[in-house]
């Protein structure tokens, strides 16, 4: 669990540092700065809602959802184990870091700082106003990793445990 706590702190620190740099080095709603053509751009935006600005101004709802999510993730955090459940453990760390990273923004500013834009997604999503941040990336990765663990790795652990128990019995 110590490793998980250290990783959470590192991930939140990186998220907050990059948001600080974006907010101090880029003009608000300024033009996108291209880093990798057609793949990655940066531009500072304040998002008072969630993805695509949905639920704008619903701070109380975000606060309740954050508390509930952190309660669930905190409970799952107790089961983190990098020897037996690497993917599960990393997913929980990313869930907590992502949730707290955006919660810090909401608590301090009333909005989330977004600054990363992936132009190739415009073709998929049909929306060029989709910006995110590292906390959002952590949450997206956490969903993928948690799903992989739930449907693939957890089944393998259960089968290995069953085989081990059968071997012990005889």
Q: Cite the active site residues.
A: 114, 136
Strands 131-132 and 40-47: unpaired
Burial class (CB in 10 A: 0-12, 13-18, 19+), 155: exposed
What are the tokens at 123?
């073709």
Q: Compute CA distances 69 → 98, 116, 122, whole Å.
A: 11, 24, 29
Residue listed under structure tokens 């089961």: 79
Q: Compute CA distances 19 → 113, 142, 151, whole Å.
A: 6, 20, 34
E strand or H helix that includes residue 114: strand 112-117
């Amino acid at each position: 669990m110590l490793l998980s706590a250290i990783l959470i702190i590192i991930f939140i620190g990186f998220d907050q540092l990059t948001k600080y740099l974006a907010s101090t080095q880029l003009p608000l709603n300024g033009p996108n700065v291209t880093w990798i053509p057609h793949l990655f751009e940066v531009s500072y935006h304040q998002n008072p809602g969630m993805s695509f600005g949905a639920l704008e101004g619903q701070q109380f709802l975000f606060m309740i959802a954050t508390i509930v999510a952190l309660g669930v993730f905190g409970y799952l955090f107790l089961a983190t184990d990098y020897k037996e459940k690497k993917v599960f453990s990393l997913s929980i760390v990313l869930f907590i870091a992502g949730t707290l990273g955006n919660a810090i923004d909401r608590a301090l500013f009333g909005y989330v700082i977004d600054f990363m834009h992936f132009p190739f997604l415009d073709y998929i999503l049909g929306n060029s106003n989709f910006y995110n941040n590292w906390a959002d990336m952590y949450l997206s990765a956490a969903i993928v990793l948690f799903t992989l663990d739930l449907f693939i790795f957890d089944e393998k652990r259960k089968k290995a445990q069953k085989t081990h128990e059968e071997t012990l019995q005889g």
